[in-house]
Amino acid sequence: MSQAELRELRAALHTASDIVFTLDGEPSAEQADQLADALRRALDAARALGEDRGGTGCREHPRGAVDPLYGDKDDPLPPGWGRCLLCNDRRRRAGARRYAGR
């Protein structure tokens, strides 16, 4: 169990808790979606705690953090990108360097 996995789980649970405690009556569709996303992140992080390969499925970073944009319908990752935050961050930085060089 890594500290990064615990931080991810705590952050997702805190987010879900914050959403729930701000509800006053029936949640809006946006609040329900945000809550479901936070709980999904928490579930993924909890599952990653007990997996041998971690939640990323990455050979290079099997115990790394899962990219929070993975599975995001509103801001999807580019095709071919996986769950690994470290690999996706490397791709983002490489893309930024290409744009900066123009």
SS3 per-residue string spanning 58-84: CCCCCCCCECCCCCCCCCCCCCCCCCE
The full set of domain ranges for the chain reads 3-50, 56-101
* pTM of the predicted protein model: 0.50
Please report where in the chains the tokens 């996986």 appear, as a residue.
82
Please report the pLDDT score of residue 4 as a whole number. 73
Query: Quick one: average pLDDT of 85-98?
Result: 88
CA distance 67 to 77: 9
Please report the pLDDT score of residue 91 as a whole number. 93
CA distance 55 to 7: 14
pLDDT tens column, 10-58:
999 999 999 999 998 899 999 999 999 999 989 888 887 765 556 788 8
Predicted confidence band of residue 67 (pLDDT cuts 50, 70, 90):
very high
At 26, is the secondary structure helix, strand, or coil?
coil
